[in-house]
Amino acid sequence: MRATVMYGAGDVRVEHVPDAKLQLPTDAVVRVLRACICGSDLHPYHQMAPSREGTPMGHEFLGVVEELGASVSGLRKGDVVIAPFAYSDNTCEFCREGLHTSCRNGGFWASGGVGGAQAEAVRVPQAQGTLVKVAVGEDSALLPSLLTLSDVYGTGYHAAFKAGVTPRTTVTVIGDGAVGLMAVLSARQFGAERIILMGRHQRRTDLGREYGATDVVAERGPEGIARVLDLTRGDGTHVVIEAVGYPDAYDMAVGVVRPGGVISRVGVPQYDNAPVGFGSLFGPNITLTGGPAPARAYIERLLPGVLEGKVHPGKVFDRTVSLDEVPAGYRAMDKREALKVLVRP
């Protein structure tokens, strides 16, 4: 089959690899209907050291069950299923607590012998716990929105959920990428009436307004901080969702969070250390939360809104490519020509 492999920064190839096959009785093989390129895929695209073996790419997909291991129940061949960006047994105590990313039997796509999703097919470990069946056809117009449940919608939702957004909390979202926009949508769903979106790509911030942003701040750094403080009588917002992952975004979050407030991070941090002392987090009693979203925990919760057409998270996809065009998709996202690229193998 064909699959996407990254060999180093800027070096993405679509190649023939061994077919995805059942290895364990808990596995399934899923033919990929739709996958996509994630903002977090751009981190290795910028930084990965050259590698002979390369690494498979892609962690967001929905597809059709092709094969099922002997111990998988509740699924049938031909089912259309959503796969969250981590696999999990959905039964261990971490899963029961809603932290599927720390599942005792879980893991992540494109590592540890499991393939990536920017491919024709994927072996799915812990298939029974991981895959969520959806009653739509293989050509449903809802596929893009359903695909966001694999990662970006669940990730934006996680940010708002962990931050404790309510109708009484003001919110700043840092970053107008797909996750930032999904955080806007999610904060609105939690009832937030004031949502400030920090981003400078008007096509994206326009979609952010559609999702519920009440204010857009295009400035960054100290100017961006000053602008948000101006909008909030000098106090900042109760919640800041950091959907970027770079140190300057962290610093902006510290700059615009209200005393007693929460910074919720869902941008994968490209740094190890950051300010947490008296002058940043401690003195004003700021809470820092977030992490990789247990997307699996949120799929059932978010699915009805998508199926009923109440929300349209799939609008974050503004380009569709074939599998062969995946390298061009990376380039388009890297150059900010595309917000988020849908892959249709």
Largest Cα–Cα distance in the chain? Answer: 61
Least distance to a second copy from the beta carbon of 251, Å?
Answer: 12
Identify which range of 27-35, 224-232, 276-284, 336-344 contacts a second copy by CB under 8 A: 276-284
The verdict on 108 binding a second copy (CB under 8 A) reads: no
Residue 31, φ and ψ in degrees, nearest 5: -80, 130
Cα distances from 50 to residues 9, 57, 117, 268, in angstroms, run: 7, 15, 21, 22
Within 8 A by CB and 6+ apart from 53, the residues are none
Least distance to a second copy from the beta carbon of 164, Å?
Answer: 11
- Exactly one of 90, 101, 118, 128 binds a second copy (CB under 8 A); which one? 101
Within 8 A by CB and 6+ apart from 274, the residues are 247, 250
The verdict on 102 binding a second copy (CB under 8 A) reads: yes
Judging by DSSP bridges, how do beta strands 80-83 and 86-87 pair with one another?
unpaired
Q: At what angle do helices 152-163 and 295-307 cross, to 10 degrees?
A: 110
Q: Residue 320: helix, strand or coil by DSSP?
A: strand
Near a second copy in 127-166, by CB under 8 A: 162
Near a second copy in 51-70, by CB under 8 A: none
The verdict on 252 binding a second copy (CB under 8 A) reads: no
| DSSP letter for each residue of 2-44 | EEEEEEETTEEEEEE-PPP---STT-EEEEEEEEE--GGGHHH
Choice between 176 and 242, CB closer to a second copy: 242
- Exactly one of 25, 259, 304, 309 binds a second copy (CB under 8 A); which one? 259
Choice between 108 and 137, CB closer to a second copy: 108
The verdict on 281 binding a second copy (CB under 8 A) reads: yes
Near a second copy in 285-324, by CB under 8 A: 285-292, 294
Least distance to a second copy from the beta carbon of 272, Å?
Answer: 4
Can you give the binding site for a second copy, defined by CB under 8 A? 94, 97, 99, 101-102, 162, 259-260, 265, 268-269, 271-292, 294
